[in-house]
Chains A and B, each alone.
Chain A
Amino acid sequence: MAAAILSVLAALAAYPVVGTGYGVRSVQQIFMWIALAGSWNLISGLTGYVSFGHVAFFGAGAYAGAILVASAGWPWPLAALAGGAAAVVLAVVIGYPCLRLKGPYFAIAMLGLNEVLRALVSYFEGLTGGGNGLSLPTLDASVPIYYVMGVLAVVVTAMSWLIVTSRFGLRLMTIREDEVAAEAMGIDTFHHKLAALLLSAVGPGVAGALMARDQGYIEPISVFPLAITVTMIVMALFGGKGTVFGPVLGAAALFVAQEIVWARYPYVHPLLFGAIIVGVVLLMPRGVLGLLQQRYRLPRTI
């Protein structure tokens, strides 16, 4: 297992040397989706609190990073970290009122969050460029960004593994299974949920800032679309929510399918994503990895 993972990582590390520009960009995108789906999984897959607005953290990171690069002249790796920090701040602001409560409040609050941020970005034109968007100084950093995005994907996945195999992760899953029982056992459910949300906001924040640097231009529509949330949810669900490698599997499989097959049918593709969510929830709630775990007696902590 460890050897397999190491050889895959080694191959990916060597890839930019031989790969085409398109290939490198595509693998970088897969890294990004692994980080996004894995992060969504940390809050929603582990605690059962569905986030319908994780793109808000992505967009917040993108704007924080882009503003720091464009206006303050920060180097982009530092700006990427700041993007993660901005997402964490946003997570505190939204998590504090909503996660103190049990029930669907958090899910619905997240549902409206990207619209709110989009409106705020348009309002604070002086800082964000408003609807005109924000251009970053030109810089070809696609290979370094490839590596940083790859590290991000590895960090998010490793963090998932550490959490799932820790007491902290067990407590999160207890909250998912029965929050009242978790409280009765003395778990401080609010702070556990909040911690999970903060951890799950970092990845999207950093990814957003990296994406902003890579594209060189961002606008409200490009960094706050509901489609990004939908995609990460679909990937995590399809691979297997609440598992470590499910989101990795889902991100890689669906990204490849998306590029090869569905790109030709741009209008059917979101419809299909909706159908996958419905199908997975009803037919295989633990996703592909869950099925594999059942069939081949794989360990539960992967």
Chain B
Amino acid sequence: MNVVVTPAMLGQVIISGILSGALYAMVALGLGLIFGVMRVINIAHGPLLMLGSYTTYFLYAHFGINPLLTVPIAMAVLFVVGVLLQRGLVFRVVDAPELSSLLLTFGISIMLVNLAQLAFTSDLRAVEYITGSWLVGGLAFSKPRMIAFVFAAAVTALSFLVLKFTRLGKAIRATSQSREVAMVCGVDVGRIHMLTFGFASALAAAGGALLAVIVAIQPEMGGVWTFKSFLVIVLGGAGNYPGALVGGLLLGLVEQVASLFLTTQLSEVVAYVLLVLVLLVRPSGLLGGRQT
């Protein structure tokens, strides 16, 4: 396939990459927080995002609520779901071998996907809200993606402010650096675990709510997000939470650039190849050599 890449196309691709990168960063930050604080990779992160999408769809279709207003509602709902999951199930495997937490969250993710299938069927749902694009200087800015970008950037920025400046944020960061020392300093680690899980689920939900106006909603839409969020964390490397931002933008850009040259079937493979390459070349990302 010979593709001639014009500067306009490249600009378009960079814009699209940045727009989707912000979503990746926000969702991945949730996965990274849970891993940082609890050493648990939450396989159910993507399915939680899917529940966020359905929350938006439900509120929009049945109560006619503006999809953008549903973002905070979906976040609140999934915060509660996350807290319940942590209190009910996940807290039991926090100190268990990795195998247990991986399998447990895998089981939870299967249950969430199939519950969604029972509740909402596998039919594709869509929230038709804003369509079309803004044209600026020959470049197209897709309206729903722009809006999602602005929201994602705002939520991510707010999350970093909370992590950086509030007592809760400091307690979360302290717990992820060393649970024992945090405990000694008077941090209620159990409570931090619970709140972090809720917070992370809310971030996934925000991603889901924003995606609801962009893509079709169906019960299995989340699976790929667990994978991509993980990739973003690995890409971000260095062990600090802002790494998710770098990783998210990087993944967004790589995917968009690849889409110039590859057919749609193969562009699904790009993220995977990227993960394998990173693991081969520079495996000491966030999860390997992290010491904040």
Asked if A63 is at the interface (CB within 8 A of a chain B CB), the reply is: no
Interface band, chain B: 35 or more
Asked if B268 is at the interface (CB within 8 A of a chain A CB), the reply is: yes
Interface of B is mostly: helix
B43 and A97 contact, CB distance less than 8 A: no
* CB closest residue in chain B, given A98: B279
A116 and B269 contact, CB distance less than 8 A: yes
B279 and A274 contact, CB distance less than 8 A: no
Q: Complex: how many Å from CA A105 to CA B234? A: 9
Residues of A within 8 A of B114 (CB): 267, 270-271, 274
Smallest CB–CB gap between B209 and chain A, Å?
Answer: 24
Residues of A within 8 A of B110 (CB): 230, 270-271, 273-274, 277
Asked if A73 is at the interface (CB within 8 A of a chain B CB), the reply is: no
Asked if A278 is at the interface (CB within 8 A of a chain B CB), the reply is: yes
Smallest CB–CB gap between A79 and chain B, Å?
Answer: 26
**CB-CB contacts below 8 Å: A13-62 with B:** 44, 48-50, 52
A277 and B107 contact, CB distance less than 8 A: yes
Residues of A within 8 A of B111 (CB): 271, 274-275, 278
Task: Mark A82-97 against chain B: 1 for CB-CB distance below 8 A, else 0.
Answer: 0000000000001011
Task: Mark B212-247 against chain A: 1 for CB-CB distance below 8 A, else 0.
Answer: 000000000001101100100010000000000000
Smallest CB–CB gap between A114 and chain B, Å?
Answer: 10
Asked if B192 is at the interface (CB within 8 A of a chain A CB), the reply is: no
Smallest CB–CB gap between A203 and chain B, Å?
Answer: 20
Residues of B within 8 A of A49 (CB): 99
B98 and A103 contact, CB distance less than 8 A: yes
Q: Which positions in A face B, CB cutoff 8 Å?
A: 44, 48-50, 52, 94, 96-98, 100-105, 107-109, 111-113, 115-116, 119-120, 122-123, 176, 226, 230, 233, 237, 267-268, 270-271, 273-278, 281-282, 285
B283 and A282 contact, CB distance less than 8 A: no
Task: Mark B115-147 against chain A: 1 for CB-CB distance below 8 A, else 0.
Answer: 101100000000000000000000000000000
Of the stretches B6-14, B66-74, B172-180, B270-278, the one at the interface is B270-278
Asked if B159 is at the interface (CB within 8 A of a chain A CB), the reply is: no
* CB closest residue in chain A, given B284: A101
B107 and A112 contact, CB distance less than 8 A: no
A101 and B100 contact, CB distance less than 8 A: no
* CB closest residue in chain B, given A45: B99
Asked if B60 is at the interface (CB within 8 A of a chain A CB), the reply is: no
* CB closest residue in chain A, given B271: A112
* CB closest residue in chain A, given B220: A226
Residues of B within 8 A of A111 (CB): 43, 223, 226-227
Known contacts A97-B276, A271-B111, A120 near B103 by CB under 8 Å: no
8 A-B pairs in the complex with CB atoms less than 8 angstroms apart: A50-B103, A100-B279, A105-B279, A105-B283, A107-B102, A109-B276, A115-B224, A278-B107
Residues of B within 8 A of A108 (CB): 41, 226-227, 230, 275
Residues of A within 8 A of B103 (CB): 50, 233, 237, 277, 281
B104 and A50 contact, CB distance less than 8 A: no
Smallest CB–CB gap between B103 and chain A, Å?
Answer: 5
Q: Complex: how many Å from CA A229 to CA B271? A: 21
Residue from the list B104, B117, B287 in contact with A105, Cβ < 8 A? B287
A107 and B89 contact, CB distance less than 8 A: no
A103 and B97 contact, CB distance less than 8 A: no
Residues of A within 8 A of B118 (CB): 267-268, 271
Q: Complex: how many Å from CA A104 to CA B41? A: 7
Residue from the list A97, A233, A268, A281 in contact with B100, Cβ < 8 A? A281
Asked if B191 is at the interface (CB within 8 A of a chain A CB), the reply is: no
* CB closest residue in chain A, given B277: A97
A123 and B279 contact, CB distance less than 8 A: no
Known contacts A101-B288, A274-B110, A278-B107, A109 near B275 by CB under 8 Å: yes
Q: Known pairs A115-B224, A274-B111; list 17 more (Cβ under 8 Å).
A: A50-B106, A97-B279, A102-B288, A103-B288, A104-B287, A109-B279, A112-B224, A112-B272, A116-B268, A119-B266, A120-B266, A270-B110, A271-B110, A278-B104, A278-B111, A281-B93, A281-B104
Asked if B108 is at the interface (CB within 8 A of a chain A CB), the reply is: yes
Asked if B164 is at the interface (CB within 8 A of a chain A CB), the reply is: no
* CB closest residue in chain B, given A285: B100
* CB closest residue in chain A, given B230: A108
**CB-CB contacts below 8 Å: B254-291 with A:** 263, 265-266, 268-269, 271-272, 275-276, 279-280, 283, 287-288
Known contacts A48-B98, A273-B110, A281-B100, A101 near B283 by CB under 8 Å: yes
A267 and B269 contact, CB distance less than 8 A: no
Q: Complex: how many Å from CA A233 to CA B279? A: 25
Known contacts A52-B43, A271-B114, A104 near B279 by CB under 8 Å: no
B104 and A282 contact, CB distance less than 8 A: yes
B287 and A103 contact, CB distance less than 8 A: yes
Residue from the list B102, B263, B272 in contact with A50, Cβ < 8 A? B102
Scoring B92, B111, B266 by chain A CB atoms within 10 A of each residue's CB, the highest score goes to B111
Residues of B within 8 A of A123 (CB): 263, 265-266
A274 and B226 contact, CB distance less than 8 A: no
Residue from the list A120, A267, A282 in contact with B92, Cβ < 8 A? A282
B280 and A97 contact, CB distance less than 8 A: yes
B227 and A278 contact, CB distance less than 8 A: no
Residues of B within 8 A of A100 (CB): 279, 283
